Amino acid sequence: MLIIKKYAAIDIGSNAVRLLISTITEPEDKDPTFKKTSLVRVPIRLGEDVFVNGKISAFNMMRMRDTMKAFNLLMKSHQIERYKACATSAMRDAKNGQELAKIVKEESSIDIEIIDGEHEAAIIAATDLHTLIQDDKTYLYVDVGGGSTEFTLYAEGKTIASKSFKLGTVRILNDMIEPNIWEEVEAWIKKETKNYTKISLIGSGGNINNIFKSSGKKMGKPLSYFYLSSYYQLLNSLTYEERISQLNLNTDRADVIIPATKIYLSAMKWSRARKVYVPKIGLSDGIIKSLYNDEKAKE
């Protein structure tokens, strides 16, 4: 007997808000498969409000309400059985983050859970990272967002250390990085990786996905430090408008991609990694997987 389920994940980030619709197929006596049926991304960029003014503007609160109403209708159309909405750095730091969550609940029936960096890293760890991670190798997982970056070190198939830093692309663009944050990240990475050799990076986030796509590499093949460094130089050599016209980048991607690439390159340098794998997974995928695992645990 074939069982088919439809779950949804809403990822409310500092740069964009995403709705992922996933179809889960459970063949009899086989492992389940997770297929991305639909992905909708709205670049509201809450972080620009929060990291500069400390709260979400009335205009972006309105956009959030409209977006969540639209997401609710889309979930109904897809006949979603279960969903979860998670908000990260921007809503977490906003003075009116809880107020916005309450308004969204009242107007769209969507219940937003505002999570911390450690919880975000744990949800992402629920994804199919284990299919990429080999027991005899060491990896530094780097998930770059608009408001924060999550780092997780894996060795011998286990999580060794994990930490979230307020180092995000939108924060960097708005010059809202806390003093010494780069030094703190460098010190943490060097400390946690010093006893390991031949470390590889695993990159997560829309920017590294975009870079990987432009590289023409086949899925499963890594990007080299040299390639990423060369691409970073290319990005810096072009104006914002040229990045859009020549590299075919979205308007909300053409600026954040530079600080994102700097974070990945820095992490590679400090961990001595020479290559980065890009499995195209993130918080939305982790939410879907955690929903599924929670349901299975109750059975």
In angstroms, the CA 266 to CA 270 distance is 6
Does the structure show a pLDDT above 80 at 299? no
Res 129: pLDDT: 67
Rounded to the nearest integer, the mean pLDDT of the chain is 92
Res 90: pLDDT: 93
Does the structure show a pLDDT above 80 at 158? yes
In angstroms, the CA 220 to CA 160 distance is 23
Res 128: pLDDT: 64
CB 164 within 8 A of CB 149: yes
Q: Using one digit for the tens of pLDDT, what is the confidence trace for 253-276? A: 999 999 999 999 999 999 999 999
In angstroms, the CA 147 to CA 166 distance is 6
Q: Using one digit for the tens of pLDDT, what is the confidence trace for 218-242? A: 988 999 999 999 999 999 999 999 9
Q: How many CA atoms lie within 13 A of 81 on its CB side?
A: 12
In angstroms, the CA 16 to CA 250 distance is 12
Res 1: pLDDT: 78
CB 16 within 8 A of CB 42: yes
Q: What average pLDDT score do residues 247-251 get? A: 94
* Beta-strand relationship, 149-155 and 138-144: antiparallel
CA angle 274, 279, 283 (to 5 degrees): 115
Res 136: pLDDT: 77
Give Dmax (Cα) for the chain.
58
Res 260: pLDDT: 98
Q: Using one digit for the tens of pLDDT, what is the confidence trace for 175-229? A: 989 889 999 999 999 999 999 989 999 999 899 999 999 999 998 899 999 999 9
Res 31: pLDDT: 85
**Residue predicted with more confidence, 45 or 134:** 45
Q: What average pLDDT score do residues 29-51 get? A: 92
Q: Using one digit for the tens of pLDDT, what is the confidence trace for 100-152? A: 999 999 999 999 999 987 888 778 776 766 667 676 789 999 999 999 999 99
* Beta-strand relationship, 275-277 and 199-204: parallel
Q: How many CA atoms lie within 13 A of 170 on its CB side?
A: 21
CB 173 within 8 A of CB 144: no
Q: Is 250 helix (H, G, I), strand (E, B) or coil?
A: coil
Does the structure show a pLDDT above 90 at 17? yes
Instruction: Using a pLDDT cut of 90, give the percent of the chain over it.
Output: 77
Q: What average pLDDT score do residues 78-102 get? A: 95
Res 122: pLDDT: 79
Q: What average pLDDT score do residues 6-28 get? A: 95
* Domains present along the chain, CATH in parentheses: 3-117+284-298 (3.30.420.40), 132-281 (3.30.420.150)
